[in-house]
A and B are shown apart, each in its own frame.
Chain A
């Protein structure tokens, strides 16, 4: 079956639309203008939105057609991306200097095809699709996000993982000059996340390159990030520069930081509480101050697609 392959970014790269210096200057100007109070919040978010390039993609109605996404402003101003700071507003405020292009990803470990790949090498062979996914943070709040990306499994298969590839590990870029949060050892940098290979091959796992139909803003993990909607948000590693196939379970960042609180699997599970708070209910972002919390669903509502991955496992132990 031949599906018409959408041209990458409609054949236009972000750098073609705006030269880097113009892009940079515009950001700096906007930031200064906002700081000076010349432009209100509404205008500045619109400007930020339009700074992202349009993507060419199809809407995959099989995923979340019934969900109502959060507002762009919510998705792009309330982020956990500690490399830019630990406050939710820090990533949007401190990521202006970050350069998501050009980009390279190193593929290594237990696979036949390894080496350095450009962003285009990685993304171009795949048809981009929009999927609307729930995102449940381990901090007990949630959003609905329209991602643009492609199945992770399709990408990983291209590297022909060997029979020894039991896990796949991902690493976030480590650029202290562009990422002010890296100055503080809040976590051990760079950020590392990982999946069991069968989890990675599950059709629900995607590599996202965009959100709301446009390229990812820096605070959301530009230019390419992982999205695993049945797991807590911290598994969705951002700005990936390395993909490593391993035989042993990789040591992941939050697990290393506090193993009792953050397991390797980190599957959304209302029955297994975080040691310091309940995971039974979640604060739905966008519902306002007086809205009731909603019950959290097993595997964040994706049990039909992923529960079989964990058949026979004690999820209280493997949290």
Chain B
């Protein structure tokens, strides 16, 4: 098997299952399967769990490129799409739990929340912005969009900022955890700024 075949046939399926574990554990807890259970406030539990996993997968997606460059392992990029799609999957689950279990399918209530409550406005905006990225994640779409694909997918940077901001604004008083995420995201985005500057400097001297 070539390296690419190994990746496609072995490593990707393994990663797929791994990324699904938080979802499976939560689902098992929701239905009391396999000895799993949720806390005293299960709706809040699931909502926060999916939200946090969405942020974590977003962070992991942003980690792939720096890791590839630092480690010098170009094949790492093969996993980025799947991790990114999982970020979308957990965001979608986060939204669905909120819509179905918290807002109880009350569309008017959802619209009111999105318009009236800034932390929901920005969270919802991030969710909407993720949709085109998920839709254009296929090879066919990449080919069709060509150079515009890369431009479009830079949307992930504002999405990351909005996501952490959403978390920060949601918290009542203890902002340590959202600040930790903000710090990690700042590093991941800061690294890109630094890289871009280097590239520009090199282009200027060349």
Contacting A276 at CB < 8 Å: which of B43, B112, B119? B119
Contacts of A289 in B (CB 8 A): 30, 38, 42-43, 46, 101
Instruction: Specify which of A275, A285, A289, A292 lies most central, judged by the most chain B CB atoms within 10 Å of its CB.
Output: A289
- A181's closest neighbor in chain B, by CB? B174
Question: Which B residues between 19 and 72 are near A, CB-CB below 8 angstroms?
Answer: 30, 38-44, 46
Instruction: Specify which of B38, B40, B43, B102 lies most central, judged by the most chain A CB atoms within 10 Å of its CB.
Output: B40
User: Does B8 sit within 8 A of A, measured CB to CB?
Assistant: no
Q: Given the complex of chains A and B, what is the CA–CA distance between A132 and B104 in angstroms?
A: 29
Q: Across the interface, do A82 and B117 meet the contact criterion of CB distance under 8 Å?
A: no
User: Does B109 sit within 8 A of A, measured CB to CB?
Assistant: yes
Give the total of A residues in contact with B, Cβ under 8 Å: 27
User: Does B169 sit within 8 A of A, measured CB to CB?
Assistant: yes
| CB-based A-B contact count at 8 angstroms | 54
Contacts of A186 in B (CB 8 A): 173-174
Contacting A78 at CB < 8 Å: which of B40, B101, B169, B173? B40
Q: Closest Cβ of chain B: how far from A287's Cβ, in Å?
A: 9
Contact with B along A281-317 (1 / 0, CB 8 A): 0010110111011000000000000000000000000
Contacts of B104 in A (CB 8 A): 292-293
Contacts of A141 in B (CB 8 A): 41, 44
Q: Closest Cβ of chain B: how far from A207's Cβ, in Å?
A: 25
User: Does B172 sit within 8 A of A, measured CB to CB?
Assistant: yes
Q: Given the complex of chains A and B, what is the CA–CA distance between A184 and B174 in angstroms?
A: 9
Q: Chain A: residues with CB nearer than 8 A to chain B?
A: 73-74, 77-78, 82, 86, 88-89, 139, 141, 184, 186-187, 257-258, 275-278, 283, 285-286, 288-290, 292-293
5 contacts between A and B (CB under 8 A): A73-B40, A78-B39, A78-B40, A88-B39, A292-B104
Q: Chain B: residues with CB nearer than 8 A to chain A?
A: 30, 38-44, 46, 101-102, 104, 109, 112-113, 117-119, 169-170, 172-174, 176
